[in-house]
Structure 1
Amino acid sequence: MINPGTNMHADEIDTDLDSDLDNEKEVKKSAFDVDVDEEQETALLASLSDNLLMEGEEDDLNLDDVENILELQDTNFPKFTLAKNKARFLRMVSWYRGKEEWIEVAPLSGVTKLFKTQTKELEGIRSSKLDYEMELETGTLTPSQRSYRRDELKMCKVQEKMAVHLISKLQVKIKSGRR
């Protein structure tokens, strides 16, 4: 409610409302799409350039053989065509490692809440994974589109594996906390 005695104008109110809405949009970003300092990102991408695939190259890592991606050495991480996907992957690994450490000291209510959100997110990951697999099977994509879709499919597979691993740890914590 606006106090008629103040000197606040309608334009100022609109500006405040717009900035509040902008801030709200920023808060709703995925944990893996957080903004990174440009200098940090440039340094990270420069260090990753030798760890990227060229168009037409295949990654020799079979994700089905990897039990826990978080235990892989940095040199054994999956390779991506786009540097931004590699950077996104590294942020994702960092986030999942942080959550694994957090589980050790987290309250049961927080663990249960994370379990619910990760389970719901896993459904979305699997849906996206199926979409990318179907797109790749159609054979109607240009080489660059195919390369991009393969990167996204790999990202979905990696995220699915990490989410399943985290969910299983959350389940153990929930079961042990209820006894």
Structure 2
Amino acid sequence: MDVSLTLIVIMAVLFAAGVYAMMERSLTRVLIGFLLLGNATNLLLLIVMGVPGKAPFFGEEGAISDPLPQALTLTAIVITFAVSAFLLALIYRSWQLGQADTVEDDVDDIALRERTDAEEELFDDESSPDEEEATTDFVGTATSPITVLHMRDHAAIDDDAPMDVPDPSPRSAGPADDDAEGDRS
């Protein structure tokens, strides 16, 4: 399998540029970065496909191409299209509401950014070792495995609902027996 070094370099540059663009706060740049990542993924699948061959039909002789990377490429194209359409709708709505496509910091983001290392350690030390050992919400009560009980196991419940209890009579009434009893009466 002879893969061109140029394709590998282009794929690496597309991945790097896509990740860099997705780190921006502008939704348009996030969209461009996602499109670059989608194209880099398609190029990766093209590289993985190997040497091109004949179409993979039954009875075809000679070198045939692998159909799996082709199917994965089609899937990647569809996913890239769907997420791009969603991002475009998100950008359009953001532009309608605020005349900008940047993601702004909210109050929680600002408070999280302004936390100091001492406050971080304080938040980490709030849990005690006793709380870490508890695995259920029922602390202090003995737990046991789940036991499945049937309706007949509950004698205290007086219910008129029919139960699956075998008929104690030795005779089983079939359709022919029902007709015979109806004729006798």
TM-score scaled by structure 1?
0.30
Between structures 1 and 2, the one with greater helix share: 1
TM-score scaled by structure 2?
0.29
Which structure has the larger Rg over C-alpha atoms? 2
- Structure number with the bigger relative contact order (C-alpha 8 A, sep ≥ 6) is 1
